[in-house]
Amino acid sequence: MKELNLQKILTESVNENTHDLDLKTTNEILTLINQEDSKISQAVKEQIPTIGKIVDQIFIKFQNNGRLIYLGAGSSGRIGVLDASEMLPTYGVADKFFGYIAGGDLALRIPIEGAEDSEELAVQDLKNINLTSNDTVIGIGASGRTPYVIGALKYAKSINAFSVGLCMTTDSEFRKYSDGVIEVNSGPEVVTGSTRMKSGTATKMVLNMISTTLMIKSGKVYDNLMIDVKATNEKLVARCIKIVNELTQTSDNEKTLAILKEADMDCKFASIMITNQVSYQEAQLLFEKNHKSLRGLI
């Protein structure tokens, strides 16, 4: 087994601001955690130029029917699965984002010993979904050296998929195996080595930025409204009504809901129907003729 030198991993360094945690009051502990968390946004901001270039490359892949696959172990893997899972209800996208965690779905709830140390498991996970050169793999690991993630990055690169490393340390090992790498210097954790904290927060922020920007560029947002939200519960039905009312400058919820039902609960088509006084089928034709864009139709 390869010996690790934790002194060289930034996420394992000791935070000089949080000594004597066990002697502090509840409010003192909470204040320290909050103070450290407040530094994350700036650390992510410094990576925006890199993130922007990577998003543009992923979008090119998207336009060629490519997919975005997140892989990670532990907290990193769970956060990737979370971000991917939210694309369907939020944007109506079921075939573009996928999340995998070392050890499989059981590892979302129960740690699977040793799974993160296997490069082969990652390769098998990617082969199981028939990874192609049109796809993008974002390997996530706070330390920048997780073997499971490195295995994924190596395999993605070997078949000319776009390979991206996301970590919370500088000069990471991911650089050796990636086409692009996002290195957020989130700094030492409040509790030494507990990367579910600042590292996890930074990871979620970056993935939010990547996936949301991709969906905006893909036409899933009009103005600042999620026009492809899926009404899978009462709250989301109410959100659909609110979105259509906003888009059409109307306030008759009952009428809006009736038209939404005619439009198979699709906010885009319901809005076109109301604005242009056309049927669902006519709204679909108008949308296609307008290059699948709402701009100019409402």
In the predicted structure, residue 270 carries a pLDDT above the cut 50: yes
C-beta separation of 159 from 152 below 8 A:
no
* In the chain, % of residues over pLDDT 90: 89
From 86, 246, 262, 282, the catalytic residue: 86
Residue 16 has pLDDT above 90, yes or no: no
Structure tokens at 221: 């947002």
Q: What pLDDT score does 107 carry?
A: 92
Whole-Å CA distances, 34 to 18, 20, 29, 195, 198: 12, 17, 9, 15, 10
Backbone angles phi, psi at 288, to 5 degrees: -65, -45
Q: Put residue 267 in one of left, alpha, beta given phi > 0 → left and psi -120 to 50 → alpha.
A: alpha
Higher pLDDT, 163 or 115: 163
pLDDT in tens, 191-215: 999 999 999 999 999 999 999 999 9
- The arithmetic mean of pLDDT across residues 216-230, rounded, is 93
Whether 86 is a known active-site residue: answer: yes
Contact criterion met (CB below 8 Å) for 99 and 82: yes
Could you tell me which of 166, 158, 151, 198 has the C-alpha nearest to residue 41?
198
Over range 156-164, report the average pLDDT.
97
138 pLDDT tier (thresholds 50, 70, 90): very high
* Band of residue 13 on the pLDDT scale cut at 50, 70, 90: confident
Arithmetic mean of pLDDT, 108-114 = 86
Is the model's pLDDT at 25 over the cut of 60? yes
Q: Inform me whether the pLDDT recorded for 6 exceeds 70.
A: no
pLDDT at 114 over 90: no
**Mean of the pLDDT values across residues 208-237?**
95
Q: What is the pLDDT of residue 30?
A: 97
Q: Is 3 a residue whose pLDDT tops 70?
A: no
Kindly state the average pLDDT of the residues 28-54. Answer: 97
- CATH node for 6-217: 3.40.50.10490
Task: Give CATH for domain 221-289.
Answer: 1.10.8.1080
| In the chain, domain spans | 6-217, 221-289
Determine the average pLDDT of the residues in 107-116. 87
Please tell me which residue, 2 or 78, carries the higher pLDDT value. Answer: 78
Of these residues, 36, 116, 183, 189, which one is catalytic? Answer: 116
> Residue 266: what pLDDT?
96
Averaged pLDDT of the chain: 94
Range 52-81 average pLDDT: 97
**Per-residue pLDDT at 172 exceeds 50:** yes
Asked if residue 1 has pLDDT above 50, the reply is no
Mean pLDDT of the 147-155 span: 97
Q: What is the mean pLDDT of residues 63-90?
A: 96
Is this model's pTM higher than 0.85 or not?
Answer: yes
Give catalytic status of residue 189 as yes or no: no
Q: What is the model's pLDDT at position 113?
A: 75
Instruction: Provide the edge-to-edge strand list for the sheet that holds 180-183.
Output: 97-101, 68-72, 136-140, 162-167, 180-183
